[in-house]
Structure 1
Amino acid sequence: MKPIPNDALVEIRNLTFGYGERVILDDVSLRIPRGKVTALMGASGGGKTTVLRLIGGQWKAQKGQVLLQGPTGDDSAQDVGALQGRDLHLARRRMGMLFQFGALFTDLSVFENVAFPLREHTDLSEDLIRDVVLLKLNAVGLRGARDMMPSEISGGMARRVALARAIALDPELVMYDEPFSGLDPISLGTAARLIRQLNDVMGLTSIVVSHDLDETFQIADQVVVLANGKIAAQGTPDEVRHSTDPLVHQFVSGQSDGPVRFHYPAPPVDQDFCGARP
């Protein structure tokens, strides 16, 4: 196996994935640089969340590899798609995940939500768990909300609690699935700032799936636009923003029509409305 460059934490090589005959990702190759924020963008259904699930080992590619740099930081690499049992569990311990809308346990307090992965995956004493939880909550500005229930906090606060839970085990890689969805402008800006600050202060590698152009472009080091199963554009936010590719231009400018059509492919109108009825 050809080693991953030392400046990359994850490398996707010639990966193909789909459902039946529907191809979602078609021979895609991509590197996730260590210590950087990489944004995955593109139209809905383009395969962004699929990439996260493949990296996390939830799904396995039909072809190609998802390589994770070895924990020692040397040239060793693991093919996540080939891992099973304990090896897959250990690889996932190096990852944190912020699910869309937070996905907090509704019957657990803020404190207990963040403590959950520590109790499940470590042998820390309750005193140490308490200290770690409070440190993580303090990092997202919610130490004072420790005893509240998810039903008692706002959507923006819930997203921050979920972020504290995602970093509870001090992962190397944190993946964010639509972290800005449904947030008001203040909460959105707070969430974006936290992603950037935690990435830099904790030495994380971050992958952010988002449709929010302005905030995402402000915090990302690398932007990857997925479309039609391929990588349509890749580069710095400024490079992607000024891309001349028609599809990328349509996405960045928010045009309703272009390479991504308004109408989903369908039979001719006269065939549906004027043809023989069953």
Structure 2
Amino acid sequence: MTVSAPHPSPLVSLRDVRFAYGEREVLRGIDLSVHRGQVVAIMGGSGCGKTTLLRLIGGQLRATGGTVEVEGRDVARLSGSELYALRRRMGMLFQFGALFTDMSVFDNVAFPLREHTDLPAGMVRDLVLMKLQAVGLRGAAKLHPNELSGGMARRVALARAVALDPMLILYDEPFAGLDPISLGIIGQLIRKLNDALGASSVMVTHDVHESLAIVDYIYFVSDGRIVAQGTPDEIRASRDPFVHQFVHAEADGPVPFHYPAEPIERLLGGEGA
């Protein structure tokens, strides 16, 4: 695995970031950084705010407190045109791919090139074929999403996400629903494409073991806060109870198995809940 040397200033920086949906507080003072060339994973239980972090970085949401900076610019302070210009330098792999079902594989990958550039058709064709070649699916260019396996669809979505050679790639559960072979392929492609493009990647995922094999740094989120962080080696060696429970998929621990309730002994033989 090739790891690029970190740039002195992070490409993505979140400082004391807070966010709430109405009265429900989701993020409670998040601090994290992503340096150039890094693949960074954000892990945690369902509903802990991982995908919200991606939306804050991409500017779909605005923090209720703190700052979100990309390339040194406060995303919340960008004008509409500035935000769209920034997003053109980002790639996004949505959960389950989110391919356009009425378009061919070729047209799915060509879509961002046609939308955001004035490149001639011949150059678009060559770029699309190169991206599909990179994910091993040049021969599937004429197929439609309903003709693809889950793993193939995810690879097409990955080719689309890097079509514009982004500086930053965001991944929302890239391994969800994949068989072990497809999961391994996607993991290696994420690492290889990040390194080949000289990009940075932020990956929201539940898949601990595949992530530990490809990422440079990991943040664990629980109850809206960063509760642990470190390199893969540091995470493997961690004695932190939350990290240990998450990495080893233990049913009980800091994240309890039982939802809070009064002792069952008080209810048995009584009138019920």
Q: Shared topology, TM-score over 0.5?
A: yes
The aligned counterpart of 1:32 is 34
- Residues 75-122 of structure 1: CA deviation (Å, up to 9, x unaligned): xx2111222310110111111000000000000000000011111111
2:47 counterpart (36, 45, 48): 45
The aligned counterpart of 1:165 is 160
Q: Percent identity?
A: 60
The normalised TM-score by structure 2 is 0.92
Distance change in 2, residues 1:265/1:23 (3 Å): farther
Pairs within 5 Å for 1:1-278: 6-69=8-71, 77-265=72-260, 274=271
Residue identity matched to 1:185: P
What's the offset of the Cα at 1:130? 0.6
Give SS of 2:115's match: helix
Distance in 1 between residues matched to 2:252 and 2:23, nearest whole Å: 26
Deviates more, 1:19-28 or 1:260-269: 260-269
Distance in 2 between residues matched to 1:264 and 1:65, nearest whole Å: 34
- Residues 37-77 of structure 1: CA deviation (Å, up to 9, x unaligned): 101111111111111010000111100110011xxxxxxx2
Distance in 1 between residues matched to 2:55 and 2:22, nearest whole Å: 17
CA RMSD of aligned residues (A): 1.7
Residue identity matched to 1:50: T
Deviates more, 1:158-167 or 1:240-249: 240-249
Deviates more, 1:209-218 or 1:259-268: 259-268
What's the offset of the Cα at 1:173? 0.3
Deviates more, 1:250-259 or 1:156-165: 250-259
Give SS of 2:11's match: strand
Give SS of 1:18's match: strand
The normalised TM-score by structure 1 is 0.91
Residue identity matched to 2:126: D
Residue identity matched to 1:56: G
Unaligned stretches of 5+ residues in structure 2? 1-6
The runs of at least 4 consecutive aligned structure 1 residues that moved more than 6 Å come to: 267-271
Distance in 1 between residues matched to 2:89 and 2:261, nearest whole Å: 45
Residue identity matched to 2:157: A
